Amino acid sequence: MSNPALPGRSNLRRALSSNGALLAVIALLILLVLVGAGLNDRFATVSNLTNVFEQSAGLGLVSLGQTLTVLTAGIDLSVGSMMSLISTLASGLIDGDLARAAWVIPALLVLAAAIGGGNGLLIHWLGVHPLIVTLGTGTVMQGVVLLYSLTPTGAMPFELEWIAYDRFLGLPIGATITVLLFVLVALMLRYTTIGRDVYAYGDDPEAARLMGISQRKVLIFVYAMSGFFAGLAGLYLSIRFGIGDPYQGQNYTLASITPVVVGGTMLTGGRGGVIGTLFGVLLVSLLNNLLNFLQVSTHLQLVVQGLIIIAAVSIYIERKRGLA
Amino acid sequence: MSGATQTGAPAFGGEFFARYGIYLFLALLIAGGGLISPSFVSAGNINNMLVQLAPLGIVVIGQAFVIISRGLDLSVASVMATAAVMTSLYTSDNSSAPLIVASALAVALATGLVNGLLVTKRNVSPFLATLATAIMLQGIRFWLTSGAPSGNIPPLFKQIGAGSLGGVPISLVIFLVIAVVFWVVLHRSAYGRALYIVGGNPIAGRLVGLSSDRVIIVAYMISSTLAATAGLILAGFAGVVDNFVGRGFELDSIVAAVIGGVALSGGRGGIAGAVVGAAILIAIFNLVLLIGAPVQFQIIIKGAVIVLAAAFYVKKSKS
C-alpha cells in the first residue's frame, strides 16, 4: 500500500503473485495428501476425502464471501454473528414446515445481503476501519439473535437434508454447489465491471477514485456478498444439523480468514482471489482431518493452525517484497 | 495527551470536544445513571465497578501502546488466560508465587516479542500476527492443562485479586500505580515520544533515525506484560482458574481505547483517554444490568458504542 505502484505494472505483478500463491497452495495440498497417505492408510481413501469435502462446505461458503472483503483491504468480522442470526431465525420461523421454508429462506438471504450491504455503506459513510464497523455491527447482531432466542430453537425441514447429506455421482451435493459458487464468483470477479473494480479499489483506492470507480458501490457490493454467503453458510449448517443455533457462527469469524490468507489473498488488498481460498479451505480441512487420524490432540491442532497462518503470511509477504 | 496536540489544528469548539468530550461523557453517564437508578452511584456499586475497571484498565493501557504504534493486539485475552493458568500449575501455597510470576512474565515477554518480530521483521499485519499467537497460546494452554486446569491458587494471589487495603481494593491500587508509571513512560519519556513518531508517521521516524522496529516490538511486549498482570489479578479475584480467564478482553480493550480517542491509524491518543474509555464501557455494562434490561442489551449497546465512538473521532479529525 505504501509504495505507489503504476497501474499498468501492478496488473502484471498481481497476476504473477496470485498465480504463484495459487500454485503453492495446490502443491501443498497434493503434498499433504501424499504425506497423509504414507502416514495412515485410511486417510487418502475416496470415502475419507469425500467426507472431508462434505464437511468443508460451511467454512467454504463463509470464506468465499470473506475473500471479497479482504480483496478490498477490508475484513468482515460480523460473519459469525450473521451465521448465528440467519440460522436461528430460519429454524425458529420455519419450525420444520417445508411450505414456510419456501419464503423464509429467500427472505433471510435477502436480509443477510441487505445487512451486509449496510456494513459496506456504514464503512463508506463513516470512514471508519471495516474491522471496527463490522465488529460493532456483528456485536449488535449477536445481541439481537440472543434476544430472539438464547438456545437453539425450532427445526429445519428434514425434507431439505439431502442438500447436506446426499450424493450426486458420488459427490456431496452441498459441497459441490459450494465449489460451483466459488467458480461463479471467480468468473464474476474476472469478467464483470464490478469485479474488476473490486481489484482496482483494493490495489489502490486513490487511483481507483481517479479512474471514476465508486467506493460506495464497491464496498456495498463486497460486504453484501460477504453477508449473503455468511447467511448461506448459516442456512446450510442449520439444515445439516436440523436446527439453528444462536452461537453457531461463533468460531467461524476468525476461522473464515485462515483459508483466505492461506490461499494467497493479501490483507493489504488487490491481490489473490477466490480460487486460492477454495484450495485454502480444502487444505485447512484436510490438515485437521489428517491430524485427527494421527491422533494429535485438538489442543495441539490449534497450535498448528496458528503456525499455518504465520507461515502463509510470511511466505507471501516475502514474495511481494521480492517482486516489488 | 501530548499526542493529540501534534496533529492538525481543528476549530476551537471541535478541539475542546475532541480533547475533553470523553470526560464530559463519563460525567454525564454517571450523573444520568444516578438519576435513572440511585443504586448506580451507591458506594457499594462504585466499588464494584472500580474492581471491574482494574483488569480492563491495565489491559487497555498496554493496548493503547500497541495501537499508538499503528498496531493491534488480539492476543491479550489469550495471554491473560495463560498467565492465569500458571497460578494453578505449581504448589498451592505462597512459596510458588515467584515461580508463577516468573512463568507468567516469560509467557508474556515471549508472546510480545513474537508479535513484535512478526509485525516488524516479517511485515505481517498486526491483526493476523496477534491472532495467530493467540490461537497458538490457546493450544499450548489447553495442552498444558489437558483441557481443564485443576489445582489451587496460592492465597497471595487471592489477596491481591480480591483483598483490600484500608477499604481500597488492592487490584485498584495496582492499576493506579501502573497507570501512573505508564503515563510517564508514554507522555514524558524519550520512548513515548519515539512511539508517537513511529506510529504517526513511520517515514519521519526513520528520517530522524529512530529504530522503529525496536520501538514497536517494545510496545507489543508492554501490552502482553500488562495483560499477564491483569490475568493474574483476575485469577486471584475469581479464586479459581479456567482456560478462558479474560475472554472478550481483546475486543473490549480495543473498544475502550477507541472510545478513549486512541486512533487505530496510529500516533494519537493517550493513557488518560484509554482508561476513561474503559470506565465508560464498564459503567454502561453495569447500568444496563441495574435498570433491569435483559443482558442481551449489554451486547447490543456495546456494538453500537463501538461504531459510534469510532465515527465520532473520525469525523472530528476530518473537520
Residue B199 vs residues A21, A267, A317, B59, B225: alpha-carbon distances, Å: 31, 19, 21, 19, 20
pLDDT at A322: 32
Domain ranges of chain A: 22-31+42-323
**Which among B122, B258, B302 is the nearest to A132, CB-wise?**
B258
User: Does B139 sit within 8 Å of A302, measured CB to CB?
Assistant: yes
**Residue from A121, A132, A151, A271 to probe the interface with B (highest B Cβ count within 10 Å):** A132
Domain ranges of chain B: 55-273
B132 CB near a chain A CB, below 8 Å?
A: yes
Is residue A49 scored above 50 in pLDDT? yes
Q: In chain A, what percentage of residues exceed pLDDT 70?
A: 91
Average pLDDT over residues B181-191: 95
Q: Chain-wide mean pLDDT for chain B? A: 87
**CA B154/CA B170 separation, integer angstroms:** 16
Q: Which residues of B touch A130 (CB under 8 A)?
A: none
Q: Determine the 3-state secondary structure of B242 from DSSP.
A: coil
Q: Which residues of A touch B306 (CB under 8 A)?
A: 132, 135-136, 139
Which among B184, B218, B183, B211 has a CA at the least distance from the CA of B197? B211
Q: Chain-wide mean pLDDT for chain A? A: 88
Which among A166, A162, A205, A175 has a CA at the least distance from the CA of A5? A205
How confident is the model over A173-198, as pLDDT tens digits?
A: 999 999 999 999 999 999 999 999 99
pLDDT at B308: 85
Is residue B55 scored above 60 in pLDDT? yes
Give residue B272's pLDDT band: very low, low, confident or very high (50, 70, 90).
Answer: very high
Is residue A14 scored above 70 in pLDDT? no
Chain A residue closest in CA terms to B250? A135
B167 CB near a chain A CB, below 8 Å?
A: no
Range of weakest confidence among A42-51, A279-288, A308-317, B186-195:
A308-317
Which among B101, B70, B264, B231 has a CA at the least distance from the CA of B161? B231
Is residue A132 scored above 90 in pLDDT? no
B244 CB near a chain A CB, below 8 Å?
A: no
Q: Which residues of B touch A142 (CB under 8 A)?
A: 299, 303
Average pLDDT over residues A218-225: 97
Grid cell 456495498 — which residue? Answer: A220
B23 CB near a chain A CB, below 8 Å?
A: no
User: Does B303 sit within 8 Å of A139, measured CB to CB?
Assistant: yes
Whole-complex ipTM: 0.79
**Which among A136, A309, A321 is the nearest to B128, CB-wise?**
A309
**CA A163/CA A153 separation, integer angstroms:** 21
